[in-house]
Amino acid sequence: MRKWLASVLLVCLATGSFFSEATVSPVLGATKAVNSDRSATKSIQMPVHEQIVFNDYQVVGLSTEGWNWVRNDEFILPPQTPLDIDVIQTTYGSGKTENKMDVLLDGAALPEFSSEMSDDVSTLRWEVPRFTIPYEKLPAGNHTLTFIGSDALGEKSTVHVRFRVEALHYPLIYQGSNPVGQTIQSGSHEAIFGNYGAKVYNSNETGSWKLTNTKNSSMIKAETGNVFSTGVLIAGDYELSFIPDDLNQTPWQVELRVGPPILYLGTDENGQQLGNNQKITAEKAPGTVQLFSPAPGRWWVDGTGQTLVSAQHFEVVIPEKLEGMTMSVNFEPEQSLGTERSSNSMISVQIQVPGSPAGCDASSVRATLDVMVQNNEGSSLLSERENLYPSDITVKVYQNPIYKIWVTTAADYLKYGDGASEEGPGVWAVDNVVVDSAYLNWDHTALELSRFKEGRHKINYYSKTDPEVTWCGYIQIIEDSPPTPSTPSCDTGEKGTVPPSTKMKLKAESGKEFVDGDKITVESSEDLEALQLLAVHVENKGMKRVKREKDKHDRRFLYVSDLQWEYGVIPFGANYEYGAGPISSNNKVVIKYDDVIIKTIKPKSSEDNEPGGVEMLDLPSIIAKDGRSGKYKVEVYNTLTYKTCDVVSRYKSYKKYVDDVDKEQILVLTVEVK
């Protein structure tokens, strides 16, 4: 025991370290007793840690009693701060003495900080050169650094130091004027998509905001408070910082970019960066082209119907039938919450489909198209050309001034929305570029060619329902009056308007209405009411003046009856026929008992153009007169007639066809009398 105390005093005298702090961790033996072969005892001095300092704050020392004291859990490292370490350690030997240091962080070795030295002295006191652990290796939380000093014999002194790395205490910053949703991390990158725009931020702490231009470091705006609006910013890069009034909070900062969205060719940001309207070529058709945006948004391909929303990656399908065409892919990013008054942020990429466009060959015809014109806002759509076959021959369309010219799969379908659309919805291309849906009608069965202005245009149509159905041709728009026609044309009064499809109704005196298929049950005929008929019919609005010829130089006019389709109450058995007018209507009523006719009201012709008929259907009297219980049926037939006129090209000649088309509406009401 006396030898141990003497050794400790020698060590203390050698190191010159005397501390009065409480001892926490002992030196692992200033001396060690070992047995030699002769069973003699001799003293071997152990390595000693004299001092360890963290960022100029001593955390380990040596007490006067020869014990290491350690300030565990006292040292607190600020966030994002490197840790400078100074170590003094001593080893002993005879002859050449070695002194080695190893460092472990949370039990894992840090070989980059291991070092050693040697000298021909018996006591080797080493002030280890300062070394620094970068803050990236020291995340927020509690950590333990272990220091091991060893000599040539493998004897060691081990000291463990516990300390804490403080976390960053950022204020909570939100997008928008209200503190809701996800917070924005300091150091992140914000964006306003477009050529200009503004953004609003909200903090849960009061403080100072500052907005600067990254390019020249000039300050744009500075304010204090919780809410900050950037104001309208033009395209460029900016830095927004916020310093909380609470000094315990960490300053917050983000980068803000104003500009168009960025697209990449491929599936991530490693691909080729693409600018607005940049043209790229697809590898093959059929095939796909991969596009990527760092921000999610809405993707769509003009004319094809391919769309995707809230996505960063878009796989563009390249159809084989579009060989030689150019496809436009559009992307509109989702603006983040708090973005205000931003400009249009859409970006487009043109994809050239490899191959050559198919020729306009009529040898394998699967489609014919029609051309329609509307001369001004108040005029109706008129058929200009019908049943056009694919051809390299240019079709000329005259209009002065140019207003509306449509190419459509079916003229009547475009004009009235009734009937079949024939070839159906399609993908349209003008001059080998697939057009946007804004140039098409509601269901992509017609192309508004007049929006491409005057000139000769190549038109391609590809059916969406049948890939074998295509059309190709050339149409030239000429802003002038048409030359005097040498072909037949439809005269005034030879073509009527298609009637609307509004359904008939029967209206009782009580106001109750019945439609086709309705059934009612009554105890007797006395419970029935007289009925009125509501239906589509023709009304004569008087006389109107029309031009005799389409030629603008012909100033001659005609006065004709202004006949129009109307819907309202009309007599049963009425006949609306006005001479040889282009539209007419009439209705007939049949009342049956068990499919046997007991009453008929038919329309009659009138020389004074009055419709005639019966204003009210006295159904109670008719059933009472029949005097039976059971099921009666009231059947109303409303016939709507309109004229059609078509000039058809056949084998280099034209022929005019004038015809009457009847549309019949039927209403059946079943009445059961108990």
DSSP per position, 187-244 = T-EEEEESSEEEEEEEEEEEEEEEEEETTT--EEEEEEEEEEE---EESEEEEEEEEE
Tell whether 486 is covered by a domain.
Answer: no
**Burial environment of residue 445 by CB neighbours within 10 A (0 to 12, 13 to 18, 19 or more):** buried
Tell whether 499 is covered by a domain.
Answer: no
Mean of the pLDDT values across residues 569-589? Answer: 92
Same domain, 301 and 377: no
Residue 642 has pLDDT above 70, yes or no: yes
Residue 524 has pLDDT above 50, yes or no: yes
Among 202, 226, 259, the domain-final residue is: 259
User: Among 38-47, 143-152, 476-485, 565-574, which stretch is predicted with the lowest mean pLDDT?
Assistant: 38-47
Tell whether 485 is covered by a domain.
Answer: no
Residue 250 has pLDDT above 70, yes or no: yes
Tell whether 440 is covered by a domain.
Answer: yes
3-state secondary structure of 587: strand
- pLDDT, position 338: 84
3-state secondary structure of 590: strand
- pLDDT, position 412: 87
Tell whether 42 is covered by a domain.
Answer: yes
Confidence (pTM): 0.55
Same domain, 32 and 177: no
Same domain, 247 and 269: no
Per-residue confidence at 552, pLDDT binned at 50, 70, 90? low
Q: Are 336 and 366 in contact (CB under 8 A)?
A: no
Domain that holds residue 456: 369-478
Residue 3 has pLDDT above 50, yes or no: no
Give the Cα separation of 69 and 59 in Å (integer).
8
Helix ranges (DSSP H) in 356-502: 411-416
Mean of the pLDDT values across residues 134-154? Answer: 95
Among 209, 240, 259, the domain-final residue is: 259
Tell whether 532 is covered by a domain.
Answer: yes
Same domain, 9 and 133: yes
Same domain, 545 and 658: yes
Per-residue confidence at 429, pLDDT binned at 50, 70, 90? very high
Same domain, 135 and 29: yes
Per-residue confidence at 18, pLDDT binned at 50, 70, 90? very low
Q: Kindly report the CA angle at 208 between 202 and 210, in degrees rounded to 5?
A: 90
Among 225, 259, 293, the domain-final residue is: 259
What is the pLDDT of the chain when averaged over all its residues? 87
Report how far apart, in Å, the C-alpha atoms of 203 and of each of 208, 220, 231, 401, 482 are: 10, 20, 17, 59, 69
Rg of the chain taking only CA atoms, in angstroms: 47
What DSSP string runs through 644-671? EEEEEEETTEEEEEEEEEEEEEEEEEEE
- The total number of structural domains in the chain stands at 5
Tell whether 190 is covered by a domain.
Answer: yes
**More confident: 404 or 580:** 404
The pLDDT tens digits of the residues spanning 34-89 come to 333 333 333 458 999 999 999 999 999 999 888 899 999 999 999 889 999 999 99
Same domain, 155 and 206: no
Query: Which residue is it, tokens 């894992």?
Result: 108
DSSP state of 589: E
Give the Cα separation of 642 and 564 in Å (integer).
11
Same domain, 311 and 205: no
Tell whether 362 is covered by a domain.
Answer: no
Same domain, 380 and 346: no
Q: Provide the CATH number for the domain around residue 344.
A: 2.60.40
Same domain, 431 and 462: yes
Same domain, 533 and 668: yes
Same domain, 244 and 270: no
Residue 492 has pLDDT above 60, yes or no: yes
